[in-house]
Amino acid sequence: MSYLKIILEIAKALPTIFELWKKWEVAKLRREQEREADRKKQQIEDGINSGNSLPLEEAIGHSTPGRPAEHHAGVQSRPNRNR
């Protein structure tokens, strides 16, 4: 009978576990976005101070013209559809 009670308690806790997992994933994404924003800010400052435009282009995503910026969080390239 105790096994059944354990299984029921786990079943009751599942919504809470999923909610906590969702909050953890959102917090992880926010931390990654903050790190990326700090990295971009530093690249822009370095480009301005050094006079080199390459860090500026990479910071704003122009290192890959015509394609999505590869160094940005959450950016994924999709294969072209066959027409």
- Residue 81 in any domain: the answer is no
Mind listing the pLDDT tens digit for each residue in 20-69? 999 999 999 999 999 988 988 888 888 788 877 777 777 776 655 555 56
Containing structural domain, residue 28: 2-60
| DSSP result, 24-77 | HHHHHHHHHHHHHHHHHHHHHHHHHHH--SHHHHHHHTTTSTTS--TTSTT---
- Residue 55 in any domain: the answer is yes
Structure letter (DSSP) for residue 3: H
Structure letter (DSSP) for residue 20: H
- Residue 71 in any domain: the answer is no
Measured between alpha carbons, how far is 78 from 4 in angstroms, rounded to an integer? 47
- Residue 23 in any domain: the answer is yes
| Number of domains making up the chain | 1
- Residue 76 in any domain: the answer is no
Query: Is the full-model pTM beyond 0.85?
Result: no
